[in-house]
Amino acid sequence: MKTPAASPDTFVDRLSSRIESLQEGFRKLSRSAGLPDLAKRFAETVGETVPGAAVDIVHRSGDAGPWTPLVTSGSLSDGVLARTAGEKYTLPCTVRRENAYLIVVQKLADKSQLGIMMIPGDGGGEFSEADVVSLRLFVQYFDNAYQDLMFRRNEKGLVFSLNHRVLQLNSLIETGIEVAKLDHHDAPHHLAIVRAASLTNAARGVVTVSSGKEVREEYTFPVGTVVNRSSRDMNSIVARFSFLENTYRFELFDKESRSGATPFEETDHLLLDALARQVHASLENRYLHEQALEKQRIEQEMSVAASIQQKILPVGLPDIAGYDLWGTNIPSKSVGGDYYNCIPLYDGRFALIIADVAGKGVPAALLVSSLHAYLSAYLEGSFALTRLAARLNKVLYNDSTADKFITAFFALLTPENGDLECLSAGHNPAYILRNDRSLVELHAGGLPLGTIDMDLPYKSERATLQKGERLFLYTDGVTEAENESHVLYENEFPVTDFLARHVPDSSETFIDELLVDIRKFTRSAPQNDDITAMYLRRLAGPSQ
Amino acid sequence: MDQEFSLTSELRDMRLVIATSGYVNNVGGGAISTEFGRHFDTGVREVVINLAQSKVVNSIGMSFLLEILEKLHEAGGKLIFTNLDPAVEKMLTIMGIFNLAGKAATVDEALKSF
Identify the CA nearest to A341 among candidates A351, A330, A349, A331. Answer: A351
Rounded mean pLDDT for each run of 10 residues along chain A, 544 residues in total:
49 65 76 84 83 83 80 62 51 66 81 83 71 82 88 90 91 87 78 94 94 93 76 78 95 91 93 95 92 90 77 90 95 78 94 90 82 90 89 90 88 96 96 96 94 90 96 96 93 94 96 96 90 95 52
Query: B75 to chain A: nearest residue by CA?
Result: A33
CB atoms within 10 A of CB A218: 12
Torsion, Cα of A174, A179, A184, A185 (10° steps): 110
The pLDDT tens digits of the residues spanning B62-102 come to 999 999 999 999 899 999 999 999 999 999 999 999 999 99
Instruction: Give the β-pairing of B78-82 and B102-104.
Output: parallel
CB atoms within 10 A of CB A75: 10
Residue B3 with chain A: CB contacts under 8 Å: 222-224
pLDDT at A2: 44
Does the CB of B59 have a partner CB in chain A at under 8 Å?
A: yes
Query: B57 to chain A: nearest residue by CA?
Result: A198
User: Does the beta-carbon distance from B94 to A163 stay under 8 Å?
Assistant: yes
Residue B5 with chain A: CB contacts under 8 Å: 222
Residue B96 with chain A: CB contacts under 8 Å: 159, 163
Using CA atoms, how far apart are residues A250 and A239, in angstroms rounded to an integer?
A: 5
pLDDT at A333: 65
- The answer to whether the complex's ipTM is over 0.95 is no
CB B50 within 8 A of CB B19: yes
Does the CB of B100 have a partner CB in chain A at under 8 Å?
A: no
Residue B90 with chain A: CB contacts under 8 Å: 170, 174
Residue B60 with chain A: CB contacts under 8 Å: 201, 256-258
CB B62 within 8 A of CB B30: no
CA distances to A328, A330, A331 from A519, in Å: 15, 12, 14
> Looking at the whole model, is its pTM more than 0.80?
no
Identify the CA nearest to A175 among candidates B5, B17, B56. Answer: B56
pLDDT at B85: 95
pLDDT at A5: 42
- Contacts across the A-B interface (CB distance below 8 Å): 70
DSSP, residue by residue, A143-183: HHHHHHHHHHHHHHHHHHHHHHHHHHHHHHHHHHHHHH-TT
User: Does the beta-carbon distance from B25 to A199 stay under 8 Å?
Assistant: no
